[in-house]
Amino acid sequence: ENEVSDHALALYLAVARRIVSRDAEVREGKWGIAQAQPVLGNRGATLGLIGFGKIARAACLKFRALGFSRVLVSDPHIDAETCTAFDIELTDIDDLCRFSDVVSLHAPLTQATRHIVDERRIAMMKPRAILINVSRGGLVDEAALADALSAHRLFGAGIDVFEVEPPSVGNPLIGAPNTVFSDHCGWYSEASVRELQSRASEELARVLSGRPPRNWVNQW
């Protein structure tokens, strides 16, 4: 969860601080461009988390360290004890979209969650809101998100996952303004690969010795 939550934070900062476009403009010889386009602050801002598993919980702590003062969560599996422990407010997705400055997706993709962020909910978001998706591309209606970004009804988006991967050149998000993309790499670091290999080897040894695996994928 450490790498993916780091990546969510990195995408947010890249979009909010316009790092990618600033880099391109400086390379083109431009200077003194800091106030040409708005850059958002985060002190006192509201974070919205759709899903509150291990990755979202790690992200919650990291966004709070930046100055986010309120965290809204939509997750049917969260209880009052968890809300108190993390100082979060449980709400429905509609209100989360209405009141959040950053909406970050951390839910699994199921029939119930496909396009959970659709045209209607995107229209509810603040014009200065940022959408971050490090979970599954199918959670978002990409065409509706691209339309909102192109019409400047949203500030920006940071996307690590797409509904079809790799995305085609015709994907409407590719040409949308103030977007930062990565190639479904939020999970990756040298340390995470070593840990993945180590855990896989331990599971294999566990099964070969006649013990049940700890991490079932399909349990029959």
Count of alpha carbons within 13 angstroms of residue 99, beta-carbon side? 17
Report d(CA 52, CA 169) in Å as an integer.
33
Q: Which residues contact 2 (CB under 8 A, 6 or more apart)?
A: 58, 192
Distances (CA, A) of 3 to 9, 56, 62: 10, 12, 12
Q: Kindly compute the dihedral angle of the four CA atoms of residues 167, 124, 88, 73, in this order, to the nearest 10 degrees.
A: -50
The candidate with the shortest Cα–Cα distance to 100, out of 54, 57, 60, 131, is 131
**Which among 57, 136, 142, 163 is annotated as catalytic?**
136
Which of 70, 184, 203, 206 is catalytic? The answer is: 184
Annotated catalytic residue within 119, 165, 195, 202: 165
Number of residues in the chain? 220
Please tell me the distance from the alpha carbon of residue 37 to that of residue 18, in angstroms, as a whole number.
9
184 noted as active-site residue: yes
Helix axes 54-66, 2-16, angle to 10 degrees: 40
**Cα–Cα distance for residue pair 207/213, rounded to 1 Å:** 6
Known active-site residue 136: yes
State the catalytic residues: 136, 165, 184
